[in-house]
């Protein structure tokens, strides 16, 4: 694909991974951006930018066809930090996209937007959001924001509720939530190219037997996961999570139990 694609968070874990993997599968006009320049090769196009600054976001989105938006704090943080970086940053980016007539945005949502659902509940793309942290709340906001910009301004979007995107699964929870780098790349590729997409919510998960998510919407859009957490040995995965009884009940795991002051029995 020759159209210009902006990847935010290009110096980070998943933004950085996608910046390289999209190039590998044929994207020849990628522009990376981040607060710092890290692991960027000489031949790669990169612009330093702060999403909190609307002038920066206007500059980085000029002439861009689609944005792969992975630039955010990727874990729980203070309410202020999440508000500034994830909520205001994402808002600025969508607004700049509207001004610069960007056609599509692939939004890195997270399982933490639905983390307070019990592990016994099977979810799909229509399930209600249930954020488990300030971080998860910022992802739920991003999903709503992208739906608004799709309906109001026809900027197409795909929100990927990413489970645990790691080289390999590292604990038992990952048997349900894991997605490989290649499978995430495939979903992003679909989000950029799909012809009749408007606003989509899909789950960023490989083909895991123990999944809590019915990802048929992603399959309808053409997603064919190649990987699965099933081939990893249950016994060899760390049992860290088992020390935290509350985390075991909910899909968001330890994000749900951190700083918890509520009453579990009301979270059905
Ligand atoms: C996420 O959204 C985080 O970015 C990542 O660090 C993991 O915590 C992941 O979710 C997960 O739930 O495993």
Burial 80-116 (b: 16+ CB within 10 A, else e): eebbebbbbbbbbbbbbbeebebebbbbbbbbbbbbb
Atom of ligand 1 nearest to the CA of 136: 2
Mean pLDDT of the chain: 96
**Inter-axis angle of helices 134-153 and 89-99, nearest 10:** 10
pLDDT of residue 243: 80
pLDDT of residue 127: 98
Q: Which is more confidently placed, 39 or 242?
A: 39
Residue 240 has pLDDT above 70, yes or no: no
Nearest CA to ligand 1 atom 4: 74
- β-pairing, 164-165 with 178-179? parallel
Cα–Cα distance, 143 to 138 (Å, whole number): 9
Give the range of the structural domain holding residue 133, as residue numbers without chain letter: 5-266
Residue 242 has pLDDT above 80, yes or no: no
pLDDT of residue 236: 73
Cα–Cα distance, 245 to 253 (Å, whole number): 9
pLDDT of residue 206: 98
The proportion of the chain whose per-residue pLDDT surpasses 70, expressed as a percent, equals: 99
pLDDT of residue 222: 98
Ligand 1 centroid distance, CA of 2 (Å)? 32
Task: Give me the mean pLDDT over the 31-60 stretch.
Answer: 98
Q: Per-residue confidence at 246, pLDDT binned at 50, 70, 90?
A: very high
Please tell me if the CB atom of residue 139 comes closer than 6 angstroms to any atom of ligand 1.
no
CATH number at residue 249: 3.40.50.720
3-state SS, the chain, equals: CCCCEEEECCCCHHHHHHHHHHHHCCCCCEEEEECCCCCCCCCCEEEECCCCCHHHHHHHCCCCCEEEECCCCCCCCCHHHHHHHHHHHHHHHHHHHHHCCCCEEEEEEEHHHCCCCECCCCECCCCCCCCCCHHHHHHHHHHHHHHHHHHHHCCEEEEEEECEECCCCCECCHHHHEECHHHHHHHHHHHHHCCCCCEEEEEECCCCCCCCECCHHHHHCCCCCCCCHHHCCHHHCECHHHHCHHHHHECCCHHHHCCCCCCHHHCC
Ligand 1 centroid distance, CA of 197 (Å)? 26
Residue 237 has pLDDT above 80, yes or no: no
Cα–Cα distance, 245 to 8 (Å, whole number): 36
pLDDT digits (tens, 9 = 90+) for 180-208: 999 999 999 999 999 999 999 999 999 99
**Residue 211, token pair as written in the block:** 């999944």
Ligand 1 centroid distance, CA of 253 (Å)? 10
Annotation marks residue 135 as catalytic: yes
Cα–Cα distance, 107 to 123 (Å, whole number): 19
Task: Give me the mean pLDDT over the 215-221 stretch.
Answer: 98
Task: Give me the mean pLDDT over the 56-63 stretch.
Answer: 98
Task: Give me the mean pLDDT over the 66-75 stretch.
Answer: 98
pLDDT of residue 68: 99
The proportion of the chain whose per-residue pLDDT surpasses 90, expressed as a percent, equals: 95
pLDDT of residue 234: 74
* pTM for the whole structure: 0.98
Task: Give residues with Cβ within 8 angstroms of 5, minimum separation 6.
Answer: 22, 27, 29, 30, 31, 64, 65, 66, 67, 68, 192
Domain count, the chain: 1
Active-site option among 27, 91, 135, 223: 135
**212 exposed, middle or buried (CB, 10 Å; 0-12, 13-18, 19+)?**
buried
Please tell me if the CB atom of residue 112 comes closer than 6 angstroms to any atom of ligand 1.
yes
């Amino acid at each position: 694909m020759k159209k210009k694609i902006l990847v935010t968070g290009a110096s980070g874990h998943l933004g950085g991974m996608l910046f390289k993997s999209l190039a590998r599968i044929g994207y020849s006009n990628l522009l990376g951006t981040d607060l710092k320049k890290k692991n960027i090769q000489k031949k790669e196009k990169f612009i330093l930018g702060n999403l909190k600054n609307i002038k920066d976001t206007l500059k980085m989105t000029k002439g861009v066809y689609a944005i792969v938006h992975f630039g955010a704090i990727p874990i729980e943080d203070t309410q202020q930090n999440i508000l500034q970086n994830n909520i205001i940053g994402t808002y600025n980016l969508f607004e700049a996209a509207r001004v610069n007539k960007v056609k599509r945005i692939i939004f890195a949502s997270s399982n933490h937007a639905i983390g307070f659902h019990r592990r016994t509940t099977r979810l799909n793309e229509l399930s209600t959001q249930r954020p488990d942290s300030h971080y998860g709340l910022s992802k739920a906001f991003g999903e709503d924001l992208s739906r608004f910009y799709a309906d109001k301004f026809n900027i197409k979007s795909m929100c990927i509720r990413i489970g645990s995107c790691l080289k390999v699964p590292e604990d038992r929870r990952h048997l349900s939530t894991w997605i490989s780098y290649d499978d995430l790349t495939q979903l992003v590729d679909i989000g950029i190219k799909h012809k009749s997409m408007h606003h989509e919510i899909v789950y960023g998960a490989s083909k895991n037997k123990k999944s809590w998510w019915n990802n048929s919407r992603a399959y309808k859009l053409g997603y064919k996961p190649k990987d699965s957490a099933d081939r990893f040995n249950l016994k060899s995965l760390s049992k860290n999570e088992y020390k935290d009884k509350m985390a075991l009940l909910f899909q968001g795991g330890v994000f749900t139990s951190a700083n918890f002051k509520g009453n579990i029995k009301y979270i059905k």
